[in-house]
A and B are shown apart, each in its own frame.
Chain A
Amino acid sequence: MSIIATGITKTFGRYKALNDVDLVVPSGKLVALLGPSGSGKTTLLRIIAGLEHADEGSGKIEFHGQDVSRVPAGERGVGFVFQHYALFRHMTVADNIAFGLRVRPRTQRPSETKIADRVGELLKLVQLDGLDRRFPSQLSGGQRQRVALARALAVEPKVLLLDEPFGALDAKVRKDLRRWLRQFHDEIQLTTIFVTHDQEEALEIADDVVIMNQAKVEQVGTPQEVYDRPTTPFVYQFLGNVNVLRDVAAWSTTGPIHDNGRLAADGLLYVRPHDIAVSRHEPGTLGVPAVFRHVHTAGSQTSLTLELLHTRETVEAEISRTELAELNIKLNDLVLLRLRPSHTFQHDYAI
């Protein structure tokens, strides 16, 4: 089921959490709302869920073409998963999952045996079979989050909304669980929106990424689009590391400055560390001279810190360990930097 939000504004007192935001989520997609804290992403999610309401007279929320702005949360057919799980601690895992079915009006309530079957199915789906008699306090964080997911799915929602679902988990579990969520989504094909401030998470599993900043949507696109062709300096800086270079004239002799909108509207050059090539300083070679200050190795990649000779700006360059070995340079050696052409293959255009 598609979700369309148009012209949503939300203010808390004097603070504007959302400023005339539009959002379109096509049916069956897994969409990430990505942004720093305070960007309004959670507020937008809560408004879609009906847990919060947009300012009077501003915009509307449509599910499958139907205006649901005035429909209460419980009747919107959304499954909502909270960052801190919000499980009912006095209920067992099975009772938690069955909650949404048991509170239905008597006429629509399934029989207890049907509920038990459904709970069993869901436990299998989230890979927690056998834990039905446990209390939430006896589960790990990752397990609790999956119980929360199963509970949300029990009422057969048409839309799944997840608020920083992996925010409270440790790095390893986060990674496993988000890959699991991706597979899970491919299986059940439910329109899903999840909020995150972790760009890696969003880029890895989402079909579309919606990048938000200061109550506005900055850019919408597939992970590759937003990473390779950011439309604003904010998106450039937010998605991965970026060097901000002032001396555009000097760099323009070393490589394409228009690739991927590197040259932003603010007159600065935004270049990813892996788009900077490093070579030995030899007379007659083209490049911006810099001093090699520091090297930091992470896995197969090395990150070099370089200081530009003329402007004293610090630049980061990422090259492989083999490349670094071939360069054969020492700290404080003079090197030359060039811009690599960007790695995009499709829609290669400049702004």
Chain B
Amino acid sequence: MSLFTSRRSALPGFNLSLGYTVFYLSLIVLVPLSAVFLKTAGMTWESFTQAVASPRVIASYKITFGASFLAALINMVFGLLLAWVLVRYPFPGRKVIDALVDLPFALPTAVAGIALTAIYSKNGWIGQFLEPLGIHVAFTELGVLMALTFIGLPFVVRTLQPVIEELQPEIEEASASLGANRWQTITRVILPELYPALLTGFALSFARALGEYGSVVFISGNMPMRTEIVPLLIITKLEQYDYRGATAIAAVMLVASFLLLLVINLLQKWSRRYHRV
């Protein structure tokens, strides 16, 4: 009699695989994360609040969460467009573009940061045209957003592609033959089918952006109160041998990220409510 009875499946070994799952997850994820909390737990409440709620840290939360959220939003819109085009339209060079999408995955983030900085700085290829218009990208909040958008794009595209591939073209035809115009077909038929995948892509892109460090530190200029992101603050604390301060901020980040992802997952589950059976 086992505690977790499951329906008999063709693949045996449920207990063994569950045990393995728990062990592996503990080793790789839970143990390191709990170390963060243990370390933080050694602090007094006063020093904790001081570490996690000083104006400089609060400012860094704002820029990190704000820019990550915006970047994920931007990626959701343009990633959808990109995935749609890549799946639906055959055109020369499609395979190449499809491969390019993965580049932000593969590129060392520092390289990405340096490249973006070089291009968008005052004398860069693009920066030199933006600068006279009063648009400053490098070493501003816009730069942070840019870097986070760059690294998050593949998540949305890769999540959406298989879902769009599975979308039957017939549902669009059904919609059209029932008299819907294109806009109605997009908003009432296609987008609702894509919401779960869109939310997943958004969550992944958002989560990735929250933890991003390498590319941002180059383009942001790391100005305290303005463009200093949380991961950088953690590193700074570590370099000053303030391990407790670093883990305290890390713990706050961890809880906040976890809650946000949980909410997104619940939203996603709700958007798939029709998908039972």
Specify the chain A residue showing the minimal Cβ separation from B172: A86
Of B25-33, B37-45, B187-195, the one with at least 4 CB within 8 A of chain A = B187-195
Partner pick for A103 among B180, B275, B276, CB 8 A cutoff: B180
A99, B173: Cβ atoms under 8 Å?
no
Q: Does A51 contact B (CB under 8 A)?
A: yes
The secondary structure that dominates the B interface is helix
Report the count of interface residues on B (CB-CB < 8 A).
22
Q: Does A172 contact B (CB under 8 A)?
A: no
State the CA gap A151–B275 with chains docked (Å). 20
B177, A84: Cβ atoms under 8 Å?
no
Q: Write the nearest CB–CB distance from B273 to chain A, whole angstroms.
A: 8
Partner pick for B177 among A51, A89, A104, A135, CB 8 A cutoff: A51
A86, B168: Cβ atoms under 8 Å?
yes
Residues 266-291 of chain A, each 1 if its beta carbon lies under 8 Å from chain B, else 0: 00000000000000000000000000
B173, A103: Cβ atoms under 8 Å?
no
State the CA gap A75–B178 with chains docked (Å). 8
Given A89-B275, A103-B184: A74 and B178 interface contact (C-beta under 8 Å): yes
State the CA gap A73–B168 with chains docked (Å). 18
Residues 84 to 134 of chain A near chain B (Cβ within 8 Å):
84, 86-92, 99-100, 103-104
Partner pick for B178 among A90, A100, A135, CB 8 A cutoff: A100
Contacts of B176 in A (CB 8 A): 51, 72-74
Q: Write the nearest CB–CB distance from B223 to chain A, whole angstroms.
A: 46
Q: Does B241 contact A (CB under 8 A)?
A: no
Residues 232 to 277 of chain B near chain A (Cβ within 8 Å):
274-277
Q: Does A49 contact B (CB under 8 A)?
A: yes
Q: Does B174 contact A (CB under 8 A)?
A: yes
Residues 151-162 of chain A, each 1 if its beta carbon lies under 8 Å from chain B, else 0: 110110000000
Q: Write the nearest CB–CB distance from B104 to chain A, whole angstroms.
A: 31
Q: Does A138 contact B (CB under 8 A)?
A: yes
Q: Does B46 contact A (CB under 8 A)?
A: no
Report the count of interface residues on A (CB-CB < 8 A).
32
Q: Does A224 contact B (CB under 8 A)?
A: no
Which among A73, A78, A104, A138 has the greatest number of chain B C-beta atoms within 10 A? A73
Contacts of B275 in A (CB 8 A): 89, 137
Given A103-B181, A104-B179: A86 and B173 interface contact (C-beta under 8 Å): yes
Partner pick for B168 among A74, A79, A84, CB 8 A cutoff: A84
Q: Does B175 contact A (CB under 8 A)?
A: yes
Q: Write the nearest CB–CB distance from B186 to chain A, whole angstroms.
A: 12
Q: Write the nearest CB–CB distance from A51 to chain B, whole angstroms.
A: 5
Q: Write the nearest CB–CB distance from B277 to chain A, whole angstroms.
A: 5
Contacts of A49 in B (CB 8 A): 177
Contacts of A148 in B (CB 8 A): 174
Contacts of A80 in B (CB 8 A): 173-174, 177
Q: Does A261 contact B (CB under 8 A)?
A: no
B193, A135: Cβ atoms under 8 Å?
no
Q: Does A82 contact B (CB under 8 A)?
A: yes
Question: What are 12 A-to-B residue pairs whose CB atoms are below 8 Å?
Answer: A51-B177, A79-B177, A80-B173, A84-B170, A86-B173, A88-B171, A88-B175, A90-B192, A91-B274, A92-B274, A99-B188, A155-B178
Which residues of A pack against B, CB within 8 Å? Answer: 49-51, 72-75, 78-80, 82, 84, 86-92, 99-100, 103-104, 135-138, 148, 151-152, 154-155
